[in-house]
Amino acid sequence: MDIPGFGQEGQEKLRNTTALVSRTGGLGGPIALQLAAAGIGKLVLAHGGNLQPSDLNRQVLMRHGSLGQPRIESARETLQAFNPHITVETVNANINEENAEELVGSADIVFDAAPRFNERFLLNRQCVRQRKSLIDAAMFSMEGQVVTIVPGLTPCLACLYPEEPPHWNRRFPVLGAVSSLIANIAVVQGICLLTGIGDAHLGKMIYIDTAGMNLRKIAIQRRIDCAVCQSVPSAAP
Ligand SMILES: [Zn+2]
């Protein structure tokens, strides 16, 4: 609350916010953890499957003793032990056609940390349709990016990627320190957007190459023929 421009008002805004986090792995785990640290009122977490040994190089909400158990249970237990004053709701499934509309509808803001484009596109479509802000975080090897999407104000994910990039593979190299860094930038963006402190960098992709320690802010444009957000009228900033 000592941060200039944040104060009690900013803290109360966070307390009154429900955030949906898609996936709780290398990116989504640290996102959920820092939202919990910041005092977000409610987390809705969606992540399917059981914990694998290969998850443990990056998935900071998980525990070695929970191998073979549902990932989402480890995520919930860690977060509730860390901050018992927040509400954590969990769904033992990834974002899909059946649950996306309801999950997005339950949230004030959405954090997308899914590695698959079909999940990212589905969340983007629902967020645009329901006019919910979406922070899309992604990484590959030593690089990562964060894009803040406010329907009507900014390009959407489909403006940036009209189609899934060719040869996209679910399995790709991840260093946990890099995924945590990108996750923390995503949380900063979300908190800036929710509370009005700082700059939410609307209409820009924040791109980081940690091998060279380069950070760039790349302007992105709405596509007038975007299949997802074409019909959303442009709002004044
Ligand atoms: Zn679009």
The pLDDT tens digits for 188-232 are 999 999 999 999 999 999 999 999 999 999 999 999 999 999 988
d(C-alpha 67, C-alpha 18), whole Å: 29
Q: Which of 191, 172, 173 is closest to 183 using CA atoms?
A: 191
Is position 224 within any domain?
no
221 CA → ligand 1 middle, Å: 9
3-state SS, residue 97: coil
151 CA → ligand 1 middle, Å: 8
Q: Which of 233, 231, 209, 205 is closest to 219 using CA atoms?
A: 205
Over residues 27-52, the mean pLDDT reads 98
Over residues 109-116, the mean pLDDT reads 96
d(C-alpha 28, C-alpha 22), whole Å: 7
- CATH classification of the domain holding 180: 3.40.50.720
Q: Which domain holds residue 164?
A: 7-219
H-state helical runs in the chain: 7-15, 28-38, 71-82, 100-105, 117-130, 157-160, 176-195
What percentage of residues in the chain have a pLDDT greater than 90?
89
The domain tally of the chain equals 1
212 contacts: CB under 8 Å, gap ≥ 6: none
The pLDDT assigned to 167 comes to 75
The pLDDT assigned to 236 comes to 62
208 CA → ligand 1 middle, Å: 23
DSSP designation for 88: E
127 CA → ligand 1 middle, Å: 11
The pTM of the full predicted model, rounded to 2 decimals, is: 0.96
Is position 147 within any domain?
yes
- According to DSSP, the β-strands at 109-112 and 204-209 are unpaired
Report whether pLDDT(187) > 90. Answer: yes
What is the overall mean pLDDT for the chain? 95
203 CA → ligand 1 middle, Å: 11
Is position 76 within any domain?
yes
Q: Which of 71, 67, 83 is closest to 24 using CA atoms?
A: 71
Confidence of residue 165 (pLDDT cuts 50, 70, 90): confident
The pLDDT assigned to 237 comes to 56
